[in-house]
Amino acid sequence: MNRRVAGFLLRFLLVGAIVALAVRFARGLDKRAILAALSGASLPLLVLSALGNAPLVWTKARRMHLLLDGKQPTGRLMALYFSSYAADNLLMSQAGLGLRVAWLRLSGLPLATAASAQAVEKAVEALGLALLAAPALWIPGGPSWLRPTVLWVSGGAIVALTVALVALPRVGRLQSLAVGAAPLKQPRVALEIALLTIAGWSLEALMVMATLAGLHLHPPWFAAAAVVLVAVNMAALVPGLPGNLGTFEVSCSLALAAVGVTTAEAVSFALVYHALHTIPVTVTGAITQRWLKR
């Protein structure tokens, strides 16, 4: 069995497991209760949540501009991120990551630089998410899985960045893989990257809170935002259906249930929040992709 066939079979099994889990989860739902939770939603607050996608993508594009040592303008990188998110939502989760690496390579950057910059970005984002969620670890009655997850995520991110900054530059054949982390050695650039990462996660937390308020849900908002962001981002690590369909809703619903939200309300939130995250960036990405081709 060659590697391509093995990869296809693994993906087929993962998708099958995700579909089976989603179907089993959906069977036990009270559809009328979900419709009741969706009725009377505040449209202005939901629109406000959707509008957060634009500044959120800007923070990511600006951070990548710094990680690439200014070799790509922020505006073009914004278009690239929108297009890559559209690929995630239309093709398969994690497809956008490959698109970003391929586009940067075609734009003249070495493959090692493009790939290492993406890897460093993931490590920085993981550490930023762990810092955002850290205060929620001490909230009484919080989910038991949150603390070990945050500790593992933060520990892994610190190890990855340490390897990229300290170990790889000392190994001749692997020095090219450390290029993406090199800008972090500049204090001003490292500070701006840290601030952009914190701003990005803060925007996502505010988008969660705006959606909760728009659906008239009132759990502890900070705790809810922390558990939702940790849960859906951990679930997104598993390649599956386009836009993480199914895994997003299940992980989001289970996370909100841990902070006292009823199942019907949690599912209604997951559906709306996923749509607000997916539809605007997919439409924008379909437009920017044509510009990037030119």
Cβ–Cβ < 8 Å for 52, 206? yes
Rounded Cα distance between 167 and 131, Å, is: 24
pLDDT digits (tens, 9 = 90+) for 152-184: 888 888 888 888 888 777 776 666 667 778 888
The domain tally of the chain equals 1
Q: What does DSSP assign to residue 166?
A: I
pLDDT digits (tens, 9 = 90+) for 113-151: 888 888 899 999 999 998 888 887 776 666 777 888 888
Q: Which token pair is 139?
A: 């909230």
Residue 81 in any domain: the answer is no
Full residue range of the structural domain in which residue 274 is found: 30-53+111-280
Longest dimension (CA), the chain: 63
pTM: 0.85
Residue 123 in any domain: the answer is yes
Residue 154 backbone phi and psi in degrees, to 5: -65, -40
Let me know if 28 is exposed, middle or buried by CB neighbors in 10 A (0-12, 13-18, 19+): exposed
The pLDDT assigned to 239 comes to 63
Rounded Cα distance between 266 and 286, Å, is: 30
Cβ–Cβ < 8 Å for 61, 208? no
Residue 266 in any domain: the answer is yes
The pLDDT assigned to 94 comes to 73
Residue 25 in any domain: the answer is no
Residue 79 in any domain: the answer is no
Residue 60 in any domain: the answer is no
Residue 220 in any domain: the answer is yes
